[in-house]
Structure 1
Amino acid sequence: MSFDLKTTVQPDAEFSPQQKKLNLLIEKIEQQKIDLAAWEKAQNDIQQHARKTLVPVYNELHIVLFQQLEQLWKHLHSSCFSKAEVVQLDEKIQHLAAYLKDSKALSEQEANTIEEIDTFYQQYAEHTQTKKAKKKPFVGSNPVFETSTQDIDNGFDEFADTDHWDSEQYSQAREQAKLKKQQEKREQAEKMAEQSLKMVYLKIAAVIHPDREQDESKKLEKTEMLQHANAAYEQQDLFYLLKLQIQIEQNRGATQKGLSLEQIKFYKLAFDAQSQQLDSQIDDIINSLVWSENAKIAVQKSKGKVQIPDLYKQIDTDTVAIKQQVKWEKERLKYMSRVKGLEMLLENGAL
């Protein structure tokens, strides 16, 4: 809302501890609204900055990693390696395929290749996991995978381990439960805000409706207030309506002293719901601007205190780090292009 609204009767009025807490909550929400407006304004600029600096470097990294994947897959099918080396190759190929699976930097043909390799490893892991006594040869649906069946037979022991899968499933379940709880909390806040919006608006309209006012000057004042209330209701601005209702109740009668405990309790619940909604909106914007794991970690460590300049700084930091990684991966790719170079990487654990 663009118009101003005072929520106190007198600057030096004495408020109860409950009313002081309520006023602090109002100040918090006012700051949240300012923060949300700033994030909404900065969102597009930050995205443009990332597209210009971070995304091209990420794309280059994915292209280099796909070239590594192709080389390793080719060598696995055409060259002879020890069982220990096959284990390293399997792990590296499976990791690259999983990492590149959702890449937007690769062509459709390259994406299909990654999907085939990733599917093969998943199927093979499931097959190995269900074996009870004797190992059985596994033939993939794509002929290109058949030649490497024996070579990779020993490369998936780690991924076939039951404890490994149970641990991964447990982590996924915990994350899903956390997200579900957050969603339920958000839905409760939205429901509370929606219910409060209509109730508060109807109460305000009943009290300040100008048709019930005989004094012309007060009638004009109430007409303006009702117009503001109507605009707030149309914009779903519960916060403004709550502040307006507090002002009306605080100014009703010279003998009335402040708000009742029941009124304060209602306002606190309604304001808490509004505050949660604003937090969720800000979090959604920040999450939409976070691409890298480093940025996600930085946001988590900030505990809701991340600022707009922090994301610009994180994007620049990530860009520098990825450029260095691209340089290293290109050097590694040179070794991977030759069997002897690959063997050197395997021998030194530098794959």
Structure 2
Amino acid sequence: MSFNLKTTVQPDAELSPQQKKLNRLIEKIEQQKIDLAAWEKAQNDIQQYARQTLVPAYNELHTVLFQQLEQLWKHLHGGEFSKAEVVLLDEKIQYLAAYLKDSKALSEQEINTVEEIDTFYQQYAEHTNTKKAKKKPLTETDFKFESAESDADETAFDPFDDWDNTKHEQQREQAKLKKQQEKREQAAKMAEQSLKTVYLKIAAVIHPDREQDESKKLEKTEMLQHANAAYEQQDLFYLLKLQIQIEQNRGAAQKGLTADQIKFYKLALDAQSQQLDSQIDDIIDSLVWSENAKIAVQKSKGKVQISDLYEQIDADTAAIKQRLKWEKERLKYMSRVKGIEMLLENGVI
């Protein structure tokens, strides 16, 4: 929601440092609202662009990888592979099954095949780990080692010291995040509870029935209409901005905003700013598909632009197409046992 306020803001030189900070926060939120509108408008376009470029490349890659999985699984016991080669084939098949089990590009029947193979390797891994976990009988060497440990210097390095320090840092970070969350919730609650209070204060000051000057009466009538619309849409930001400007325009005798007013407005506006940031972050997260894109967004520290995502989609698409080229070449050799043997010999399975 956006209205043009006709109130005259006091010259910046007449404002206190806190009031200047408040005005800068208002400007920041107005820019955030512009940014949010731009992201909302671009969201569907970016998704459509990805569906036209990135998704088809991903789907083709998954299809080729599934064909590799089928061929390797089929030939695993059909050729005379050495134990070392079988280990390599098992690792490759297990990787492909784990990679493809959440694929959206495969048919239901193909997904069932992937899940069966993935389950087989999971069960095999559990069985192997269980066997390794069985306690081995202690040898004479083991007893000597334990005795040497018990006689060691008490001041020797304790690996749990680092663990305790790490745990302490994690607890501090969690406490910090919890405090920030509580502050945001408090500010949001205050903003929600104050919507009606702010509106009533504005209405009391600018109600046109109390104005004798006809030109000012028309101006206040329009302002009240805007305030009514903002109240109906629960647009606290507009009401706060309007009230701040009204308070600042009431004359030097009012000496600007009081410390309590500034504190309240800052809390409420901070909550609004955090909410807008969260909305923008949610949209960006919904448009990030690859690990490379996630890393790029994290490095941007909130400065990612719409154009950056288009560039990342193009980069990801190019990388997938390059990989697809190589996977297709590998697949040619996987249709025959001798071809698989050749891939193994050259270390490119």
Would you call these one fold, judging by a TM-score over 0.5? yes
The Cα offsets for residues 140-185 of structure 1, whole Å up to 9 and x where unpaired, read as xxxxxxxxxxxxxxxxxxxxxxxxxxxxxx9xx99xx89x979957
Distance 1:31 1:350 in 2: 52
Q: Aligned match of 1:327 in 319, 325, 328?
A: 325
Q: Which amino acid aligns with 1:303?
A: K
Asked if residue 133 in structure 1 is aligned to residue 145 in structure 2, the reply is no
The answer to whether the Cα contact below 8 Å between 1:72 and 1:93 also exists between their aligned partners in 2 is yes
Tell me the matched-pair count. 312
Which residues in structure 2 correspond to 1:199-214 (within 5 Å)?
Answer: 199-211=197-209
Q: Which amino acid aligns with 1:93?
A: I
Q: Which amino acid aligns with 1:234?
A: E
- Following TM superposition, by how much is the alpha carbon of 1:259 offset from its aligned partner in structure 2, in angstroms? 1.1
Distance 1:108 1:42 in 2: 33
Distance 1:106 1:310 in 2: 30
- Following TM superposition, by how much is the alpha carbon of 1:57 offset from its aligned partner in structure 2, in angstroms? 0.8
The Cα offsets for residues 63-89 of structure 1, whole Å up to 9 and x where unpaired, read as 001111111211224334333223222
Asked if residue 70 in structure 1 is aligned to residue 70 in structure 2, the reply is yes
**Pairwise CA RMSD:** 3.0
Corresponding position of 2:225 = 227
Corresponding position of 1:140 = none
- Following TM superposition, by how much is the alpha carbon of 1:222 offset from its aligned partner in structure 2, in angstroms? 3.1
Unaligned runs of 5+ in 2: 136-166
The answer to whether the Cα contact below 8 Å between 2:61 and 2:320 also exists between their aligned partners in 1 is yes
Q: Aligned match of 1:317 in 295, 315, 318?
A: 315
Distance 1:128 1:199 in 2: 67
Corresponding position of 2:16 = 16
**Farther off after superposition, 207-216 or 225-234:** 207-216
Asked if residue 44 in structure 1 is aligned to residue 32 in structure 2, the reply is no
Q: Aligned match of 2:280 in 282, 306, 316?
A: 282
TM-score, normalised by the number of residues in structure 1: 0.79
Distance 2:200 2:88 in 1: 69
Asked if residue 35 in structure 1 is aligned to residue 18 in structure 2, the reply is no
Q: Aligned match of 1:342 in 309, 320, 340?
A: 340
Distance 1:330 1:112 in 2: 23
Corresponding position of 2:241 = 243
Larger radius of gyration: 2
The answer to whether the Cα contact below 8 Å between 1:22 and 1:264 also exists between their aligned partners in 2 is yes
TM-score, normalised by the number of residues in structure 2: 0.79
- Following TM superposition, by how much is the alpha carbon of 1:12 offset from its aligned partner in structure 2, in angstroms? 4.8
**Farther off after superposition, 38-47 or 5-14:** 5-14
Give secondary structure in 2 for the equivalent of 1:102.
Answer: coil
Give secondary structure in 2 for the equivalent of 1:106.
Answer: coil
Distance 2:68 2:211 in 1: 80
The answer to whether the Cα contact below 8 Å between 1:249 and 1:259 also exists between their aligned partners in 2 is yes
Which residues in structure 2 correspond to 1:52-67 (within 5 Å)?
Answer: 52-67=52-67
Unaligned runs of 5+ in 1: 135-169
The Cα offsets for residues 167-220 of structure 1, whole Å up to 9 and x where unpaired, read as xxx9xx99xx89x97995797265454334344334333443445556655444
Distance 1:70 1:269 in 2: 60
- Following TM superposition, by how much is the alpha carbon of 1:310 offset from its aligned partner in structure 2, in angstroms? 1.1
Which residues in structure 2 correspond to 1:128-207 (within 5 Å)?
Answer: 128-131=128-131, 132-133=133-134, 188=185, 190-207=188-205
Q: 1:133–1:12: structure 2 CA closer, same or farther, 3 Å change rule?
A: closer
The Cα offsets for residues 16-48 of structure 1, whole Å up to 9 and x where unpaired, read as 211111111111111111111111111111111
**Farther off after superposition, 54-63 or 118-127:** 118-127
The answer to whether the Cα contact below 8 Å between 2:230 and 2:236 also exists between their aligned partners in 1 is yes
Relative contact order, CA 8 A, sep 6+: which one is greater?
A: 2
